[in-house]
Structure 1
Amino acid sequence: MTAHPLDNPFFSALGSLHAGIALQAGEVKRYPADVAPFLGIPHPTLDLADPLVALVPAGDSVLLLGVAPAAVPEGWAIERFADLAQMQCDRELPVIDGPGIVELGDAHRADVLALTALVYPHYFRPRTMELGRYFGMYMEGRLAAMIGERLGAPGHREMSAICTHPDFLGRGYARRLTAYLSNRTLQEGNKPFLHVAYANARARGLYEQMGYRLRRDIGFFALRRG
C-alpha cells in the first residue's frame, strides 16, 4: 500500500513541489537553511550517517515531520515533541468582511520578516517566501496579519504562517485570510491542509469551527548534530 504524501510532508514536498530547491544526499533531502529548517527521509530504517554529515553542519539542527529515523548515528541526538494536529479542508469557507487582502512580494519582505520574528519566529527564514504565495492585510500602515503557502504535494497545499500582530488580535483577520487562501486553493484543484499544535487550543478551535477536520496526529521531531 502506497503511503499518503501527507504522512511524510517534508519529504513529499521536497520530492515534488520544491524539488528545484531541495538539497539531497543519497535518499535524504532538506531545504536550504535560509528557506526552512526541514529535512525529510523516506523511511525510518534508512542509514543516515553519510547523508546527514553532508546536509547538516556541525552544531546545527533540523526538524522532521511524520517520519523520523528509528536510530541516529553517533554524535547525533533526536528529540520528539508533542504531536501536531494535521487538519484538512474539503469545502469552501465563508469569507468574513475586513481589510483588503494583498499578495505579498519582495516589496513587503521586511514587513513579513518583522511580523514573523515577533509572533512566528521558529520556522520562518529569509527565503521562506520562495515556497509559495503569501497574502496579508495592512492596517495603520503596518502588516496586521498574514498567511502563506508552505509544503505541498500533488493535489495538496499547506496553509502556513497564519499570524496576526498582537495589536490587531480579536478582529477576525486570521479567519478572513484562512478562508480566502483555502478557497483559492480549492478552486485551483488542491486540498488545503495545515498543522497546528494541540497546545494552541485557540487556533485549533478556530480552524475546526471554520470547517477544517483532523486528518491525523503527526509526529514532530528535532535532529541535532553535536
Structure 2
Amino acid sequence: MIDLEEQLKNPVWYSLKETHKNFAVELNGVQFYNPDVCTFGSFFDESKTAKAADEYVKTSDHFFFVSADQTPVIDETKVIFEKKIDGCQMVLNTLPDVSITENIVLLDKSFMDEIYDLVWLVMPGYYKKRTFEMGKYFGIFKNGKLVSITGQRMQTNHLIEVSAVVTHPEYTRQGLAKQLIAHTTKEILRENKTPILHTNKGNPAIALYEKLGYELTRDMNWWLYRKK
C-alpha cells in the first residue's frame, strides 16, 4: 500500500486509484476525473501528458493538470495553456478546540443545485454539479437559505481533502466558515484519515486554516488548459 507521504505528493492520482476509481478516465498512462464530476488530471511522466490532453479535451473544453513540481507537456496545436495557479497544500497537525454554535447540516443530493449556485456566486468558474458526488457536504442555513458550506473533494485510503469553503457575501465575518471547517475536519478524523486542503498562495484564508491546525507542507499547482 502506498503510504500517506507519497499520496500527498500526487493526491489526484491516488484518489483516482483508490476512493474515486469509479470516476477515473485513464488516457496514455495519465489519470483524469470524469469531466462531468471534476476536470482534474494527474501524471508521473510528463512525456505522456500531450497525447492524453489531446484526447481528454475532446470531452471537456477546459481542464487542469495538478502537480507539485512537474510541468505538463502539451500539443499547442490542439490545447491552449491559459494560466498556472500557484497553489499550496496544507495538512492538519492538531485541531484545536472550536466552539460549534451553529446548526451544521449534512447536505443530501436534494441540495445539489443550491450548493452549485452558492459556489458559482462566490467562486465562479470550475465547480460542477456532480462534484457533489466526490464526498460529504455540510451547510449552515439562515432563514431557510443555504448561506455557508464546506465539502470534501479528493480522497484516498489515507486522506480526505476539505474543499468548497464558501460563504454567501451577506453572511461573511460571522465565523461560519471556521465552524464548518472544524466540523468537516472532525468528520474526516472520525474516519481515521488525514485532513488536507489546497489553496492558492497568498490567500488570506491561510491564516484561518493555520489557526485551525493546518500547516503548509508543499506547493501544489494547477495548470489550466482549454481546447483550441
| Structure 1 and Structure 2 fold alike (TM over 0.5) | yes
Shift of 1:95: 2.6
Residue in 2 aligned with 1:172? Answer: 175
Deviation string for 1:6-46 (max 9, x for gaps)? 22222221121111121222312212222112112232232
Structure-1 residue corresponding to 2:73: 71
- How far 1:104 moved relative to its partner? 0.6
- Gaps of at least 5 residues in structure 1 are none
Distance in 2 separating the partners of 1:78 and 1:204: 27
2:99 alignment partner in structure 1: 96
Please point out which of 135, 138, 159 is paired with 2:138. Answer: 135
Rounded Cα–Cα distance in structure 1 between residues aligned with 2:151 and 2:21: 19
Match of 2:24 among 13, 22, 29: 22
More helix by share: 2
Q: TM-score, normalised by structure 2?
A: 0.89
- How much does 1:171 deviate? 0.7
| Alignment correspondent of 2:63 | 62
Q: After TM superposition, where is structure 1 displaced by more than 6 Å over at least 4 residues in a row?
A: none
Structure 2 letter corresponding to 1:25: L
Change (3 A) 1:10 1:59: closer
Equivalent residue number for residue 54 of structure 2: 53
Instruction: After TM superposition, give the deviation of residue 58 of structure 1 in Å.
Output: 7.7
How many residues align structurally? 224
Relative to structure 1, the CA distance from residue 224 to residue 102 in structure 2 (aligned partners, 3 Å threshold; closer, same or farther) is same
Alpha-carbon distance in structure 2 between the residues aligned to 1:47 and 1:100: 45
Q: 1:37 to 1:115 in 2, by over 3 A?
A: same
Gaps of 5+ in 2: none
SS at match of 1:45: helix
Question: Does 1:194 pair with 2:197?
Answer: yes
- Secondary structure of 2:47's counterpart equals coil
Are residue 87 (structure 1) and residue 90 (structure 2) matched? yes
Q: Measure the CA separation in 1 of the matches of 2:8 and 2:66.
A: 10
TM-score by length of 1: 0.90
Map of 1:212 onto structure 2: 214
1:151 aligns with 2:157: no
Q: How far has the Cα of 1:116 moved from its partner?
A: 0.8
